[in-house]
Structure 1
């Protein structure tokens, strides 16, 4: 599969592209990068032009100027403009990328035709906010490598991680490609975000997909998104963790197939 490297905002935003057809745009999780979508990219690119964005501060994209959700939305909008994304695009976001995708869809419903929110929250309870604060503090003290085990446990289901202990080292290598200040900024955004009051005003058809054993963004938070958005549908993947495209790529593709038009 041929991959094209993309750059926007004078090199500040990096992405890759594959396939041809209607646009699909992918936004990754806090504890991942664009490679989290590698297992599902061939299936998505069969009939679509798929653009996978590295969010600000992740693996080549410039860190955000301000730790604000609106700043990330503006960066994604720049990418849509410069990458020539059509207004009939499907936007898919996992984890932090899902929260950014929600905010983007609420602010720019005219820019996309469909939204897939994968293991993401519109807001977090106090316990979740404290976990983000704890990770940010740990990174400040010991660097991103210090949270590799925590990251692996948040990304994958317990059974999957037991069967694949090498995934801890894999998370470490991914994390080391993230700018610490950008990671801390994303943690701050997730601590402060509250899109719940806006969800009833969503004008974009939405599908919410969640892993049954997601420890980072549990099913209850995903169900809240689906319940608040008019007409949204919720699909839960049995035995899966926070990142279905990595852990259960075939199940993830099957869950979104009809909605996206694969």
Structure 2
């Protein structure tokens, strides 16, 4: 069931009953990347899967990652009735969740940050600047191969052609301006100095083959957070919930209440 949150600016799917659990999707994908895990999570939680601002039917917001995080904080409070919630973010959704926890202490009771980090290396920043530049000059189609490589390792792509067709189509539906704004935000992001203020339990997860946000970023993130543990998902790239849903769900056991 879909519902509108945050003064009808954020569209979200909701299922199940129990403590609220939010799933924030990545930049190169959409909320369908959680389709393989959301039904199982909905057996124990009120599972809310929003379209991040500018994606799907959610309205865009100006002002960079901090503004996106503020909008999502409003949506989380709306859906959860002000109660602290569990927030899981993958990729860009992880950066949004981390920024939200920094800017709005107490909004999350637990965080699961999958395939993200606190800051990119200079080559990582340059990759975002290049994607923004090429997409501005030639359109999203011109970087679709790069985008898919950042999501999935080549062997996985070759073995799942139907899934890859759907993921490519989802990426090409992205609003180009929203995509470029997110690239610009990630290219300049550095949250390392603010990690010490995140005083909730955090599970940091990363696919061992992730090229978009390499495992080194997750090691640095977990080391900078006061109450974090790190788990590596074997054989996965940037979107473990889609590539290996049972492995991903298994990694959550022992952390989710």
**Is 1:53–2:50 an aligned residue pair?**
yes
Supply the distance in 2 between the matched residues of 1:140 and 1:185 (Cα, whole angstroms): 11
Supply the distance in 1 between the matched residues of 2:163 and 2:137 (Cα, whole angstroms): 23
Q: What TM-score do you get using the length of structure 2 for normalisation?
A: 0.95
Structure-to-structure mapping, 1:89-168, within 5 angstroms: 89-168=85-164
1:226 to 205, 208, 222: 222
1:41 to 38, 52, 64: 38
Q: Any gaps of 5 or more consecutive residues in structure 2? A: none
Higher mean C-alpha deviation, range 137-146 or range 121-130: 137-146
Q: Any gaps of 5 or more consecutive residues in structure 1? A: none
**Is 1:206–2:202 an aligned residue pair?**
yes
**Is 1:251–2:247 an aligned residue pair?**
yes
Aligned to 2:233: 237
Higher mean C-alpha deviation, range 136-145 or range 28-37: 136-145
Supply the distance in 2 between the matched residues of 1:179 and 1:85 (Cα, whole angstroms): 30
Superposition RMSD on alpha carbons, in Å? Answer: 1.4
Supply the distance in 2 between the matched residues of 1:137 and 1:167 (Cα, whole angstroms): 27
Supply the distance in 1 between the matched residues of 2:82 and 2:140 (Cα, whole angstroms): 36
Supply the distance in 2 between the matched residues of 1:88 and 1:64 (Cα, whole angstroms): 24
Aligned to 1:88: 84
Q: SS at the partner of 1:154?
A: helix
Aligned to 1:6: 3
Q: What TM-score do you get using the length of structure 1 for normalisation?
A: 0.94
C-alpha contact (below 8 Å) 2:33/2:242 kept by paired residues: yes
> Shift of residue 61 of structure 1?
1.1
Distance 1:88 1:10, change over 3 A: closer
